[in-house]
Every structure is written in structure tokens, then in C-alpha cells.
């Protein structure tokens, strides 16, 4: 209503005008809240994209420092060099009687026993790339540490065989047969065995060896470590006696690589990489899926304690 130029506004209109600032404030707060929520969601999504999956972190993360890893790598170098030097020395047949299959199998088996006792407390004495791959799958070793280990193992195998060549005249470096001098201590597939059959033999024998590794690292087996070096040595001996006539039963790419490099003998060399690596992966995944404990043990121990140490802690009975 308007009278004499004066505007008359009803009470309800005044109330609407008075309430409008509070409505605007509420609407603005709601809008700001929605914007903040949307911003938080976008930020969370960005963080998720930036963060690496847990399994990648586990593969790259190592609790050991680089200095500790390098010391362990040096131990792997020394251990693998001893394995090849002593093992192949036991195959020399030009100085005494020609070594038979039992002698060579025992030589390599007990060489493994010695090496585990010497460096097991330092690097766990993998001395075998297939064992290192198994440790990575179980989360005991990171990829950078595994690379150091494998490089050290291959280098040690080359140096170990080189040391044997340095102390043995060339004409005497054979197994008793002069014609074998150019391939001494080189693992070869038997001529009556196909390459695929040889590949299967290397895969299966390495798988058995890796199952022993997994069992040794199983937390439930932590207190049964007093005779671990002997267990590994006898296992290598057994597998060498059974698989040796087929392929030489390498079970170890580094063991094959050293002699092959010095003798330039690469015939079916890939079998001694693919077979052990496949056996390692399959055996480790099988053990991890079927037998590895789902819950951590009451007192878990690191991988390194499982090879050559004896549990000394005992509960006191009052």
C-alpha cells in the first residue's frame, strides 16, 4: 500500500528481508563445504595415484643399509668362488684316479656345506641366483639387493674357475679324458636327452632345492637350524647323483656360467638359466601359497638366522 508518497511494507516482507542474509550465509557455507569435500576427494585420488602399490614398495625397500648389502655381496662373491673352485677341482681326473659320479656329487655337496658355514651368517649363503629369486618372492630380499647378490655370484663363479685354471696346467685340466679339456666342468645335456627333457630336469631338481630353502626360512622351522649346512650339502649331493647323468644337474646359473665363460661353451646354455629360474619361481609360489603360515609366528626371525645358527634362548623354569 502506498499513501502520500510513503511506501508501506507488510511485516512478512520485512521478515523475508531480515532472513535473507542468514539464508545467503547458510547457502554459502553449504557451497563451501561441498567444494572442500570435492577438493579433498581430488587430493585423495591424486595421492592414491602418486603412491606406489605395497608390493612394489616391498620389492624396492630393504631394511639393510647399502654398506651391509655390499658386505653381503662380497660374501656371496667369496662363497660362490669357493664353490666353483673346490667343486670343479674335485672333478679333475688327470692327477689321480678318474673321479666317479659319487665323488663329484659329494665334492659339490660338501663344498656347499662349507660355504654355508663360512658366510651363512653374513649373507645367508645364497651362492645361487635361483635362491636369490626365491628370497625376493618371499620378501626377504629387495630387488636392488638381489641385483647385487646375483652380480656377485656370477663374478665369483668366474673368479673361482679362473683360480682353478691358474693352479692347474692346461693339459691336466680335464676329468681324465684328454678330449674333455675344452669343456671341463661345463654342464652339458646328455646326447640321448632332448633339450626339453633337460630343461624339465633342471626345473624339477632346482624346485626341490628351493623347497628346502623355503622350509628353512619358514618361521615355524626357526629352531631347527643347527644342522642346516649339512642338510643343504646332502640335498645337493642327492640331487647331483640323480640328475647329474641327465644334465650335470647344475641347479645354479652361476655354477654353469663360470666354466662356460672360460671355455666359451654356450651349447644349450639358456637351459641352465631358464630351468633353475622357473623351478625357483614355481617352487616358491607353491610353498608360499600352500604351506607358508598365514599368521606370523610368536617370534619370527630374519632370513639370515635360519642357515647356520642354533637357537640359544630357552625359557627358564622356576
User: Model confidence at 64, in pLDDT bands (50, 70, 90)?
Assistant: confident
pLDDT given for residue 54 in this prediction: 72
Count of other CB atoms within 10 angstroms of residue 274: 14
Length of the chain in residues, anyone? 318
Q: Which fold has domain 54-306?
A: Glycerol uptake facilitator protein (1.20.1080)
Rounded Cα distance between 253 and 80, Å, is: 11
111, 130, 129: which is closest to 185 by C-alpha? 111
User: Model confidence at 7, in pLDDT bands (50, 70, 90)?
Assistant: very low
Rounded Cα distance between 317 and 312, Å, is: 15
Q: DSSP for the chain?
A: -EETTEE---HHHHHHHHHHHHHHHHHHHHHHHHHHHHHHHHHHHHHHHHSPPHHHHHHH--SS-HHHHHHHHHHHHHHHHHHHHHHHHTT--SSSSPP-HHHHHHHHHHHHHHHHHHHHHHH----SHHHHHHHHHTTSS-HHHHHHHHHHHHHHHHHHHHHHHHHS-GGG-SSS-GGGGGGTT-----TTS-HHHHHHHHHHHHHHHHHHHHHHH-GGGTT--TTHHHHHHHHHHHHHHHHHHHH-----HHHHHHHHHHHT--TTTTHHHHHHHHHHHHHHHHHHHHTS-SS--TT---GGGGSS------PPP-
Instruction: Give the global pTM.
Output: 0.77
163, 261, 120, 161: which is closest to 131 by C-alpha? 120
More confident call, 295 vs 136: 136
Instruction: Note the pLDDT tens digit of each residue in 247-280.
Output: 999 999 999 999 999 999 999 999 999 999 999 9
Average pLDDT, integer, range 143-160: 97
Range name among 98-107, 193-202, 302-311 with the lowest pLDDT average: 302-311
- The grid coordinates listed for 317 are 623354569
Highest mean pLDDT among 6-20, 28-42, 252-266, 296-310: 252-266
How far is the CA of 81 from the CAs of 163, 173, 180, 259, in angstroms? 9, 18, 22, 12
Amino acid at each position: 500500500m502506498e499513501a502520500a508518497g510513503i511506501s508501506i511494507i507488510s511485516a512478512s516482507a520485512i521478515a523475508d528481508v531480515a532472513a535473507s542474509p542468514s539464508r545467503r550465509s547458510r547457502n554459502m557455507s553449504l557451497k563451501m563445504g561441498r567444494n572442500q569435500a570435492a577438493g579433498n576427494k581430488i587430493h585423495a585420488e591424486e595421492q592414491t595415484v602418486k603412491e606406489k602399490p605395497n608390493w612394489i614398495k616391498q620389492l624396492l625397500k630393504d631394511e639393510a643399509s647399502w654398506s651391509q648389502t655390499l658386505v653381503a655381496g662380497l660374501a656371496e662373491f667369496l662363497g660362490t668362488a669357493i664353490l666353483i673352485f673346490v667343486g670343479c677341482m674335485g672333478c679333475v681326473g688327470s692327477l689321480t684316479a678318474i673321479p666317479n659320479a659319487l665323488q663329484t656329487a659329494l665334492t659339490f655337496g660338501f663344498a656347499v656345506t662349507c660355504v654355508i658355514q663360512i658366510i651363512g651368517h653374513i649373507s645367508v649363503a645364497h651362492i645361487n641366483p635361483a635362491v636369490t629369486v626365491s628370497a625376493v618372492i618371499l620378501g626377504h630380499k629387495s630387488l636392488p639387493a638381489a641385483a647385487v647378490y646375483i652380480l656377485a655370484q656370477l663374478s665369483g663363479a668366474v673368479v673361482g674357475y679362473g683360480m682353478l685354471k691358474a693352479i692347474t696346467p692346461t693339459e691336466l685340466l680335464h676329468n681324465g679324458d684328454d678330449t674333455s679339456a675344452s669343456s671341463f666342468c661345463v654342464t652339458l645335456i646328455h646326447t640321448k636327452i632332448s633339450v626339453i627333457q633337460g630343461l624339465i630336469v633342471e626345473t624339477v631338481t632346482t624346485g626341490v632345492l628351493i623347497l628346502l630353502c623355503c622350509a628353512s626360512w619358514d618361521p615355524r622351522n626357526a629352531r631347527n637350524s643347527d644342522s642346516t649346512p649339512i642338510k643343504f650339502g646332502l640335498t645337493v649331493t642327492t640331487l647331483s647323483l640323480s640328475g647329474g647323468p641327465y644334465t650335470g644337474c647344475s641347479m645354479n646359473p652361476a655354477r654353469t656360467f663360470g666354466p662356460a665363460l672360460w671355455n666359451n661353451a654356450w651349447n644349450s646354455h639358456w637351459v641352465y638359466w631358464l630351468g633353475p629360474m622357473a623351478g625357483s619361481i614355481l617352487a616358491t609360489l607353491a610353498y608360499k601359497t600352500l604351506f607358508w603360515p598365514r599368521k606370523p609366528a610368536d617370534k619370527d626371525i630374519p632370513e639370515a638366522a635360519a642357515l647356520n645358527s642354533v637357537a640359544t634362548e630357552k625359557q627358564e623354569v622356576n
